[in-house]
Structure formats: C-alpha cells, structure tokens
Amino acid sequence: MTARLIDGKALAAQLRAALAPRIVALRERGVQPGLAVLLVGDDPASAVYVRNKIKACEDTGIRSVFEHLPAGSSQDALLRKVRALNQDARVHGILVQMPLPKPLDGQAVVEAIAFDKDVDGLHATNAGLTLMGQPHFRSCTPYGVMKMLESIGVDPAGKHAVVIGRSNMVGKPMAMLLLSANATVTLCHSGTKDLASITRQADILVAAAGRRGLVTADMVKPGAVVIDVGTNKTPEGKLAGDVDFEAVKSVAGWISPVPGGVGPMTIAMLLVNTVEAAERAARSQGR
C-alpha cells in the first residue's frame, strides 16, 4: 500500500482564501482584523516563525503589529506590553512567540493576555473551555490537524486515536479535540511503556514528540491515518518530522509530510482565529 498524502500546504491555502470574503465583510463594517505578535530576544528560529506569521497576515489582509523586545527585558516590561495590547481595540489577537528567553515566565505572560484575544488558544480559560468541549479558541496546531482529518473525510467518531506527546500547546488539546469528536483517545508520553504496542492500535496516529524518526513502519497499523506534527532538524539542517516518512508511507492509508503538512495549517488556523476574534469584537460593538 502507498499512503495518500495529506497536503497541508494546499489545504492551508484554501482556508486562507476562504477568509477573504469574511475580511471584506469586516472592512465594510469598518473593522480590519489585527494581530499583534510579540517577540522577545534574538533567537533565529523564533524570528523566522514570527516573520512567517507576519507575512501570512499581510498576504491575507490582516493588519499585523510587530512588537520586538530586547533579550534582557523584564517580566514586568513584557506584561505591561501585553496589557497595553489588551486595551488596543484595533488588536483582535495577541500572540507571544515561545519559548521566551530565560528567566521569563511564558505561561504567566499567556495568562496576562485577554482570553478573548488569545488566538493561540493557550490561556488557561481557553484550555479549560476546550477540555469542557466548548472551545472558544482552539489551539492552532491541533485545530489544524482536525481540519486535515475533515479534509480527507475521516470522522474520528468511534476510531482509536493515539497522540504521542502531552504538551499544553499540542498533545493535550489534540487529545481533547479528538475526544470531543468522539474518538477513543490514548495519550502517550516519555513515560509510556511499549509505545509501539499502543501506536499499532491507532486508526489515527498523531506524532507530536519532537523526536526525529520516532515513528517507524512497524509501529503503524496498516491503513492508519498518520499525522506528523514534529519539526526537527536533520544533521544536514533540513526539516524532518517525528515519522519515518519513507517507510511509513508504505503502511499507512494517509500520511502528512514535513515540511508541507501541519506547519502551514498552524499558521492558517492562527489567521482563522484572528478573523473570528475580529468578528466577535465587531458583533459585541453592534457593528
């Protein structure tokens, strides 16, 4: 069997194109969706992620506000910046690029973001609402994975979904969204014993461990949907996922590549959440 490809790049382009009429409708009501992106320090990888997000905003018609604070900034300075953005009516979404330089406390900064501007879906209120099956903003990466499943016509209901990784940003919200979609969910982590025996039961396998080549062909049930969230670097400096793509594609039914899979979907869902935030703000102002 050769797996069919889940083309995240093409799907992300479709979702972004579908935002255009919503952005036009907002403009007609005097609102331009706005996203503030905060970067602290000079980490090159973070700078690339931020540039990509800002470019995506510009391409889509979303106003972006880039705030760059120096590496030695204090927690207070960062919190003041977030609070000012909370008050800025032209800013509908706020994103703080993680990880923050030490000793800054990333979660405390996320908690300072108004939950209705937390378009990354990481605020405790948004995480809690997702847990309760009533999401306000879904965390962008798991939201993107759900859209990928929808795009290939795979309904998680009744399926066994296995998620590798339990971070607050990816693994846990992923498990919650799959659970809300009526999958039977198993959440694995570094303490999981005999990972392969669990992944082999998965109808849907989401790998989000950040370990290159962790998922090998013998760990995959024939015909399974395999979605690779991992972004790792090869010794040659190329991007690679957690899944041994070449081997697994001959076992799986569907597989997402890295690059060109979950990565573009994460950015697309950030834009979707930002437009949603602007629409909610416009409605609450009676526009």
State the residues that interact with ligand NAP by CB under 6 A: 141, 164-167, 169-171, 188-192, 195, 208-211, 214, 229-232, 262-263, 266
DSSP 3: P
Nearest in space to 63 (alpha carbons), one of 43, 85, 41: 85
Please tell me which residue in 97, 172, 244, 249 is annotated as part of the active site: 97
Q: In a 3-state reduction of DSSP, which class is residue 134?
A: coil
Closest separation in Å from C-beta 91 to ligand NAP: 23
Instruction: Decide whether 26 or 208 has the Cβ nearer to ligand NAP.
Output: 208
Amino acid making up residue 262: V
Taking the CA atoms of 191, 193, 194 and 195 in sequence, report the sign of the dihedral they define.
negative
Residue type, 21: P
193 is catalytic: no
* 86 versus 192: smaller Cβ distance to ligand NAP: 192
Q: How far is the CB of 17 from ligand NAP (least distance, A)?
A: 20
- Closest CB 8 distance from ligand NAP, rounded Å: 9
Nearer to ligand NAP, 125 or 232 (CB): 232
**Measured from the CB atom, is 159 or 166 closer to ligand NAP?**
166
Sign of the CA dihedral with 215 first, then 178, 146, and 187 last = negative
CA-to-CA dists, residue 224 to 3, 22, 45, 154, 160, angstroms: 9, 35, 32, 11, 10
Active-site residue, 285 included: no
Is 97 annotated as catalytic? yes
Residues carrying an active site annotation: 53, 97, 120
